[in-house]
Amino acid sequence: MKDKIIKISRILLFLGIGIFFLFIAFRDIPLENLASGLRQARYEWVMVSLFFATLAFFSRALRWKLLIEPLGYRPSAKNTFYALMSGYFANFILPRIGELTRCGSLNRTDRIPADSLLGTVITERLSDILVLILLAATVFFIKIDLFGNFLLNYIIYPFFSRIVSLLELPLFVYFLILIIPLLLITVYRRVIPRVRKQGAYRKVRLVFIRTMAGMKSVAAMKNKTGFLAHTLFIWLMYFLMTWAVFMALPATSGLGGSDALFILVAGGLGMAAPVQGGFGTYHWIVSVGLSIYGIPREDGLIFALLSHESQALLMIALGSFSMVMIFLKWKKRAKHPENNNQHGNEKNGFYPFKNSCR
């Protein structure tokens, strides 16, 4: 009962953050104006954007497959794609639960330990963060006046203003800041030795070791060129997605490639926020980013709606279909266990553990 309350509280918390940013983004904007702008959009360009998105999903699934193979497993591209899309679908329920969901999904279809898969997912995420940082640096130097002002006014200034406000806290707050770490150190020294003697600690340690093994899959990966090619292709598709939605609206159709790159980076920051599917945070940061070009907030929100909601509907459609396919494959495997194979699970000294994702 307690676990259910915690899960529900987390969902409501992140949902509340998203609603808060939606309120900030859409306040004082007449709904009829948004509806009128959406009716005037050229949806053939939105469909082109979704085509690029679908290509990016397939490429991402193949890239993940390259990370899994050094672990000694050979999942099919189809099952890897189904697991990936089920994870995207789960992220609309609770932020970052998608990473666990896709690991559990591929465990069910291909008997690959979920904790080893988690290491490959972390590696994949880190590579995307690195690309996003490189793109942000590129845009910063290409459009240093626009992007520099965006960073100063909406990121750096708010950050330092928070620090200044912290300096004005009462004295007892500073006392708590000093005393809490000391209490945590004391608890750690007394509790951890006892925990190490219990079986739960050994299980957590095993999960950690296998997760690290998954993260090291890049070093063991033979086709590093393929991994790099897929990474570049994925982000090229993201760029083309943004550019295609630009062409769907009169207000943004005159923007160029460097502008699409800037909005791609801004949107990536919004999607990285701990909110279900980036709802609210994406709309707010993209509308703010477009306002730098003199585009009214209303038009910026119409662009954000077209871009985000079209992709969200695509993810939900593909994700729900993928979950059905995973369930059917799992049921079929349960009915015919004699047909199951290990997909090379005993290669390289890796062995699956029963109940590894339970």
pLDDT in tens, the chain (358 residues): 555 666 666 666 666 766 776 666 677 777 788 888 899 999 999 999 999 999 999 999 999 999 998 888 899 999 999 999 999 998 887 777 888 899 999 988 888 888 888 888 888 888 898 898 888 888 877 766 666 666 666 656 665 565 555 555 555 555 555 666 666 666 555 555 554 555 555 555 655 665 666 566 667 778 889 999 999 999 999 999 999 999 999 999 999 888 899 899 888 888 877 676 777 788 888 988 888 888 988 999 999 999 999 999 999 999 999 999 999 888 887 776 655 544 444 443 333 333 333 3
Q: How far apart are the first and last CA of the chain?
A: 18
CB of 238 closer than 8 Å to CB of 56 = yes
Q: Can you say whether residue 152 is alpha, beta or left, with left for phi > 0 and alpha for psi between -120 and 50 degrees?
A: alpha
- At residue 100, the pLDDT reads 87
Radius of gyration of the chain (CA): 23
Cα distances from 201 to residues 153, 191, 194, 198, 205, in angstroms, run 46, 12, 10, 6, 6
Give the integer Cα–Cα distance in Å for 126 and 184: 30
- At residue 33, the pLDDT reads 82
Cα distances from 306 to residues 38, 45, 273, 285, in angstroms, run 8, 10, 19, 15
Type of residue found at 341: N
Give the integer Cα–Cα distance in Å for 230 and 224: 10
Eight-state DSSP code of residue 343: T
- At residue 357, the pLDDT reads 39
